[in-house]
Amino acid sequence: MSDPAGATCLLRAVEVHKAYRIGKRPVEVLQGVNLAVAPGDFVALRGASGAGKSTLLQLLGGLDTPTAGDIFFDDRRLAALSARELARFRNEKIGFIFQAYHLLPELDALENVCLPARLARQPAGTAERRGRELLARVGLGHRLDHRPSEMSGGEQQRVAIARALMKDPELILADEPTGNLDSHTGEGIIELLCRLQAERRATLVIATHDSRVAARAPRILDLVDGVIVDNGKPAAPAPPRDEPPEI
């Protein structure tokens, strides 16, 4: 799929609306969102709390359906997929990183990271080898057998990042990945995401209300009054760092 300028698109939202009903009152969160993301893009979706960033990310990742409008991924209209096809699409193409981590408390770090591979019925040995590699890559090779309750918030978020990379997804959706972390730890998480995105050339969309986080992305989109505002200006480049902070 291409945008009007002819650039190839991996992800596109076309006039997407999403409304909820609170009691008897309908509330329209998204009011005609249009969005185009090319393969390998790093985009920050910025907006105030309650602007609809999480709702939009859930729609883009196939976790929810729009009230109106369409979402396309690599020329595939998500609304045309069956429940089975949509589940496979999410498992194979999308890596989700949530603000609340969403790790299973009864599983250790390695088991949490390997969960997407288990759901896809990959061989256990293959999944475990990749899980160990990913945890080592995010600096947790020494915490494989630790459960979430035994890890700090920054460590849990790094486990969540490793889990998101388990199936080598084409698109990573990160919803306020630093929202539950202190500023120092959050900066380390963003450094890690930036580094991994650059190394893997994956497409990354981060939803955030923090302008400092958004400034790390080459492209910023603002979600205002239920629509995307894109003035065509890239984010200001972040100053280089010699070493990422400890997380």
pLDDT digits (tens, 9 = 90+) for 79-110: 999 999 999 999 999 999 998 899 999 999 99
Task: Tell me yes or no: is domain 11-229 CATH 3.40.50.300.
Answer: yes
User: How far apart (Å, rounded) are the C-alpha atoms in residues 204 and 200?
Assistant: 10
Res 144 pLDDT > 80: yes
Q: Output the pLDDT for position 246.
A: 42
Strand 76-77's sheet: what is its strand order?
A: 25-37, 11-22, 68-73, 76-77
Res 245 pLDDT > 60: no
Angle separating helix axes 109-119 and 124-137, nearest 10 degrees = 130
Q: Output the pLDDT for position 232.
A: 52
For the chain, the 3-state helix, strand and coil shares in percent, each to the nearest 5, are 35, 25, 40
Percent residues over pLDDT 70 in the chain = 90
Q: Are 223 and 52 in contact (CB under 8 A)?
A: yes
Tens of pLDDT along 233-243? 444 444 444 44
Tens of pLDDT along 15-73? 999 998 888 888 899 999 999 999 999 999 999 888 899 999 999 999 999 999 999 99
Percent residues over pLDDT 90 in the chain = 66
What tokens does 33 get? 């969102």
Residue written as token pair 């890239």? 234
Q: Output the pLDDT for position 236.
A: 44
Q: Output the pLDDT for position 181.
A: 87
**Residues contacting residue 88 through CB under 8 Å, at least 6 positions apart:** none
Q: Are 104 and 115 in contact (CB under 8 A)?
A: yes
Q: Output the pLDDT for position 26.
A: 83
User: How far apart (Å, rounded) are the C-alpha atoms in residues 139 and 23?
Assistant: 46
Paired strand residues for 70: 14
Q: Output the pLDDT for position 7.
A: 56
User: Domain locations in the chain?
Assistant: 11-229
